[in-house]
Structure 1
Amino acid sequence: MDEEATTLTMKVAGGNRAAWAVLAGFCASLVGIGLARFAYTPLLPAIIGARWFAPSLAAYLGAANLAGYLAGALAGRPLAAKWSPAPVLRGMMLLATIACLACAVPVSFVWFFAWRFLSGLAGGALMVLAAPAVLPLVPPSRRGLAGGVIFMGVGVGIVLSGTLVPLWLRQGIRETWLGLAALSLLLSALAWKGWPAQTRPAAAEPSHRRPAAPSRPLRALYVEYALNAAGWVPHMIFLVDFVARGLGLGLQAGAHYWVLFGIGASAGPVLAGMLADRIGFGPALRASFALEAVAVLIPALGLGAAWLAASSVIVGAFVTGTVPLVLGRVHELLVHHPTLQGPAWQTATVGFALFQALAAYGLSFLFAHDGGDYARLFVIGACAMGLALIIDLFVIRSPAGP
């Protein structure tokens, strides 16, 4: 009887640790991506209007965050290997908080650029480290849902950026940055003790053999995730402008579609994770590619407000929902090589960040030089999604497929 009670107590304690760790992961994605990146979008017009920076300089500040995200994705695992994941995760959440605080004082363009870069670096490192630190505590049958909850923080941040920021802006831009810093600090404190007490990653056993090259399905997954990053860019950058200026409906209508995008991004990870727990990460990922391709194409077809709203919600859902699906797929493909799962996830995240930045600059250049053709942007995004699906279907049907 005592043994049964002890076993039950251990299970409850383990469940509590897992729940706190998942909450910490949720807070990390909310602070590092949801607030540190997406809160800048509704702040940008106010920053330009208050003449903090000229429009051309303000655009570079948005790019600074993307560049920092790539740097953070590259630096995350080396930092964790040196100091262990938990201290690095805490430090990166505090760095994102300090970056918001520093942006409340527009000392100079260089000052602001540096802090936007550092906020992106924090977000990239948190994206690489948070979920892999948490998911080992979660039973395999529940990892899809747990990953969904973690990355739901990104969507919640988008919703908050479309609601709290406009309210805070009534008090002023400086006060808005201070509010973002206070919220980030609160979330950092909530997550502080939730991180697993891990030591530095164990060194691999010495071997005279060269490390095995990534399998064909894993290499294909890297490409598919990068193509998804490119395919989302038309909605992430041009959706509000398309509604406001392309359709002539004004900024207020554009903001409504952005909130719909955020609502989808909030629910997407959990729904995608639950689907993956039922049918597997591979089939769920292929279903997401097919739905995304159609949803990204919808704005180019001019089907009306209801279809555009559906497109906003669906694409928003998969912008965040695809992340736990890809992470889970990485774990599936490397189930017998757990020490390779972290590096593989870092590689996927770096490819994602690189293609997202390249697509953002490339589509912006194309838009500026082809007379402002919005439809072409959404067609290109849909093609990227369709290509990801074709690659995945080809790999699973090939003799070397899984």
Structure 2
Amino acid sequence: MTRAGRKVQVQHVLTGMLIYLAMAVNIPPWAIKAIDKIRRSFLWRGRKEARGGHCLVAWGRVCRPLQLDGLGISSLKELIWALRMRWLWLQKTEPNRPWCSLPIQVPDKARAFFSMVLTSKVGNGANTLFWTDKWIHGQKIADLVPRLFDIIPKKITNRRTVQEALTDRRWIADITGSLSVGVLLDYLHLWNLISDFELLPDIEDKHTFSIAANGTYSAKAAYDGLFIGSVHFGHYERVWKTWASSKCHFFLWLSVLNKCWTTDRLAKRGLDHPEKCPLCDQESETLDHILVSCVFAREFWFRLMCIFRLQNLAPTPSTVSFTGWWEMIDNGSGDMIMKGVNSLIALGAWIIWNHQNRIVFDGISPSVSAALCQAREEQQLWEMAGAKGLSFLAATIRGT
């Protein structure tokens, strides 16, 4: 099984097995660590055990979404948080469920995140917390009058509903402790905020999960929300949205992160390595050299691009970066020609990498013609599998 195939197994089997358990039971950190060890080892080696050298990318990065330079495998900690938020959501939106009055075991950080993204529109106020829910001008009273909130007992702030607090201004009785000038100012500010607020006895409170497009909780929206603020992966569209085989996508992801085993990485770790590039036998080997700088690679790209009359896009002697060259070519238009060009670049990079590996491990001789022949065969298979961009490029050439 390829790494791309093992990725699917890890995400949809090893991770999927835990979903129902994680919704109901607090999985201890040691168990999460042990499960992650199994997932990591199977992804990189296909076995239960793997050493550090087998893992090309740190597990924390692997467990990021694709848009954030990860591999899209779910991070168990964040997944558990997202799943457990379901009970908090149901407690708000369906308070008549029999278990709603029972204490719900939700991690504190997950509970704090849920409180931050939940907004409430008060009707009768029976299911909205007065002090800690976002119900007045989209904010919490705890944030509007923090000094006053600090002197309210926690057992009250965690239970007092808007309905209870506004009935006979019961919220005033919640205030205990010393009244400093700051607390008095907050008290007057809160009085002004809610003095004209009226409850609607016949209308239920309405709650919105603000980070979901439709305003309703889903585990996916909650999980994605836990990564808000992370840096976007600049090559996401080219690596993951270009039509290519799954194993090619995996390779492109590794190549953009410069995590493929090449001579420079072997030398850095003191491992045995060839002194020269096996393709050209002239310069030291790096990933960028193999894919665009090597004379073998430049001839391959030129002849491959000539087939589609795109030779002006082939890398030149001044091209030193594969990702930089691809980024320069990709205009982001998304039309069929550009989709075909992106698929062609993904295909070409994959063929060069495989040809280099066959030279190193199988002892074949470098041959641009053999690599081109393999590329043409792979192109036909990709077209049959649904690479519409490549098919469009080929049809354009035949039509002219």
TM-score by length of 2: 0.26
Q: Which has the higher contact order (CA 8 A, sep 6+)?
A: 1
More helix by share: 1
TM-score by length of 1: 0.26
Q: Based on CA coordinates, which of the two structures has the bigger radius of gyration?
A: 2
